[in-house]
Structure 1
């Protein structure tokens, strides 16, 4: 297996209202809207990518049995947690205070369904 390259490029995030979630991720978090396809009456696929990221998220209908809001611990890495906090707050995102840990500085937030995100500034010794 060591000769096989594997890249994580897509993570499903279960939501109850695709349009509301898409608006949150694009308008408030600043993700790029890559795809939005209504494949059939039962299947809609929306792919959204954080700026500068090689990994995207997929939201939609008919893609998963996961309950909306059940994904926790998704993580975005930024250069400056304070700047990210200020920018997200200015866009109307409810974010907690910047928290300092030995392994990084974090801002925590949830999407409208309660899927949990951490925004991390990596702290190097």
Structure 2
């Protein structure tokens, strides 16, 4: 048996504002923006290099905007990614390096989308 997680729905209050945030600020690719029927709009965006996309829009995500917490975006160089995102105007935390004896260092930086859905950049060191 094989499972592939390929889409995570994200509840948002303003679809166009969210498209701008995810594509312009974060640099995600806009894959789809369709309205197959009245009251239904489906948007799919994908982080660069990811096999999993996020989806949002109108008429299909039933949870409250801002209710998704701590989704992880794994990066190979958290300091350069954080710096680039901050230059694009993203409010993002400083990098927090966590380690335990005998374990690789794990680093995080945190941010939110305009609705308060929260994200973490994560880098796992050697």
TM-score, normalised via structure 1 length:
0.94
Secondary structure of 1:106's counterpart equals: strand
Per-residue CA deviations over 1:43-99 (Å, capped at 9, x if unaligned) read 100000000000000010111210001000110000111101100001111101111
Moved runs in structure 1, 4+ residues, more than 4 A? none
Question: What is the aligned partner in structure 2 of residue 107 from structure 1?
Answer: 109
Residue number in structure 1 paired with 2:74: 77
Q: Distance in 2 between matches of 1:92 and 1:73?
A: 20
Counterparts of 1:105 and 1:122, CA distance in 2: 6
Give distance in 2, aligned partners of 1:6 and 1:65.
24
CA RMSD in angstroms comes to: 0.8
CA distance in 2, matches of 1:72, 1:15: 13
The structure 2 residue matched to 1:32, chosen from 9, 13, 29, is: 29
Give the corresponding residue for 1:119: 121
Unaligned runs of 5+ in 2: 100-104
Q: Structure 1: give runs of 5+ residues left out of the alignment.
A: none
**Aligned residue pair count:** 121
Alignment partners' CA distance in 2, 1:79 and 1:112: 25
User: How far apart in 2 are the matches of 1:117 and 1:34?
Assistant: 20
Q: TM-score, structure 2 length as denominator?
A: 0.93
